[in-house]
Amino acid sequence: MIKFLKSLTLVCVLTIAIFSCSNESNENGYYSSGIFPTKTSRIAIEIDDQTRDFSFNVRHLEIGQGIEAIFHLNDINNSIGIYDVEKGKKIRTLYYEINGPNGVGEINGFDVVSKDTLLLLARDEYRVSIAIATDNSDTLKLIRSYRLRAPNDPLITTPYSSVQAPIVIRNDSIIMAGVPYIKPERDNMYDAGNNVIKISLKDSSYVYENMYSLGYKEKWTQYYSRISYTYNKEQGLLAFSNPISDSIYTFDHKGVRKDYMVKSALSEKMTPYRGSFQDNRRMRDHYNNQPNYGYIMYDKYREYYYRFTENVATKELIKYGSTGIIRNIGVIIMNKDFEIIGETESLTLGSFPTIFIGKRGLYFMLVSNEESKMLYDLYEF
C-alpha cells in the first residue's frame, strides 16, 4: 500500500510538472505552450524627410554581404527607401515615375523579388509592373506592365499587396490577392469569391480563383476581411489561411492541394452571425467580439510557419466600446510539416501590426509619434 501511494505521488508530481511546462501563464494571465517567441528589445530605424508620413507598407530581404534590409514604400514621394535593419540607417532611395514611357502609375502596393527587382502595383489602375534598379540611377526602370482588367471587363476584384498576402512569382506567373467586389444587400463573401489572381508572365492572360470557404456564408460578417497566404520559396509552396477556418491548406508548384488542421488551443470558438447583413452596426459589433485567425507567415531562418491569432481584448472593449478593434495578438508555431509545436495567447495588444521576419526573430512595427524613427519590438526564440 505504501509503495502504491509513493508511485501515485510520483505520477501526480510528474503530471503537474508536465502540465506546468506545457501551459505557462505569464504575468498578464495569458497562456503559452511549447515553443513561442518572447519580446527582447526595441529596434529603432532612423528615417529622413522622404520617409516621414510613412505607411506600414514594408518588406524584408537579405541583400548580400550579411545585410538585412527593409524596403519601405512612400507613395507620397513616389519612392522606396531601403534601410539596414542592424545599423538602423538608410542605404538607398529608389524613385519611380508615374507617367510617361517609364511610368508605373500611382503605386499603392509593392513586393520585392530581389534587391534589384521590384513588383509595383497600381491598384486603382489594375496594373502590376516589374521594375529594376541599376547601379547608375536612383530611378527604377520599367521592364513590363501587366493589366489586370480589360476595358470592358466587369469589376470582379480589386487587387492589393500586403505582408499578409504578398505578390509572388511562381511557375512563370504572378500571384496576388484581391478584394471581391460585392453588394452587401445581395451578396456574401463566398458567393462573390474571386480573391486570388494569377497572371501569366508569357502572354499577360489572367484568371481569378476563389479561396474562401463555405463557412463564410454563415459566420463571417466583415465583407472585406482578407485571406492570408505565405510563400515557401525553397519548396515552391503556397500556404493559405482563412480568418474563420481552423484548417489551412497548401498548393505546391504542381497545383496539388493538401489540408492541415491548425486549430488554436487557446482561442474561443467563433459564434455564427444570425443578424441581417444590411445591419452594418450589428455586423461590426459581432466581428469585434469574435476571435479569428490573422496572418500566416513562413520563417525561412527557423523553418517555422506562424499562424497569428486575434482574440477579443475584453477589458479594452469595455473601456473603449465595441467601435474600436483592439485584440490580443497571439501566434501558433508550426514546423515545416505543419505540425503545431507551440502557441501563445498574447504577444502584443492592439490592432493587427505590420510584421517582418529576420535572422533574429519577429519584428512588430509600433504605432509611434516619433517623426524621425521607425520603431519595432523584436521577439526572439
CA–CA gap between residue 336 and residue 343 (Å, rounded): 15
**Spatial contact of 47 and 372, defined as CB atoms under 8 Å apart:** yes
C-alpha cell recorded at residue 369: 509619434
Of 17-21, 94-98, 158-162, 190-194, the one with minimum mean pLDDT is 17-21
Question: Which amino acid makes up residue 323?
Answer: T
Domains of the chain in sequence order: 38-380 (2.120.10.30)
Work out the pLDDT band at 25, boundaries 50, 70, 90.
Answer: low
**Spatial contact of 140 and 95, defined as CB atoms under 8 Å apart:** yes
**Spatial contact of 198 and 137, defined as CB atoms under 8 Å apart:** no
The answer to pTM > 0.75 is: yes
Q: What is the pLDDT of residues 178-214, one digit of tens each?
A: 877 666 555 555 455 567 899 999 999 988 887 765 5
**Spatial contact of 292 and 286, defined as CB atoms under 8 Å apart:** no
Query: Rounded to 5 degrees, what angle do the CA atoms 358, 360, 363 make?
Result: 55
Cα distances (angstroms) measured from residue 354 to each of 56, 88, 121, 223: 6, 18, 19, 21
Q: What is the arithmetic mean of pLDDT over 3-9?
A: 39
Could you count the other beta carbons within 10 Å of the beta carbon of residue 112? 21
pLDDT for the residue numbered 27: 47
pLDDT for the residue numbered 219: 53
**Of the candidates 316, 334, 333, which has an alpha carbon nearest to the alpha carbon of residue 325?**
316
Q: What is the pLDDT of residues 247-270, one digit of tens each?
A: 999 999 998 999 999 999 988 777
Query: Rounded to 5 degrees, what angle do the CA atoms 288, 290, 294 make?
Result: 90
Tell me the CA end-to-end span of the chain in Å, nearest whole number.
46
Residue whose entry in the numeric block shows the C-alpha cell 505569464: 26
Could you count the other beta carbons within 10 Å of the beta carbon of residue 317? 18
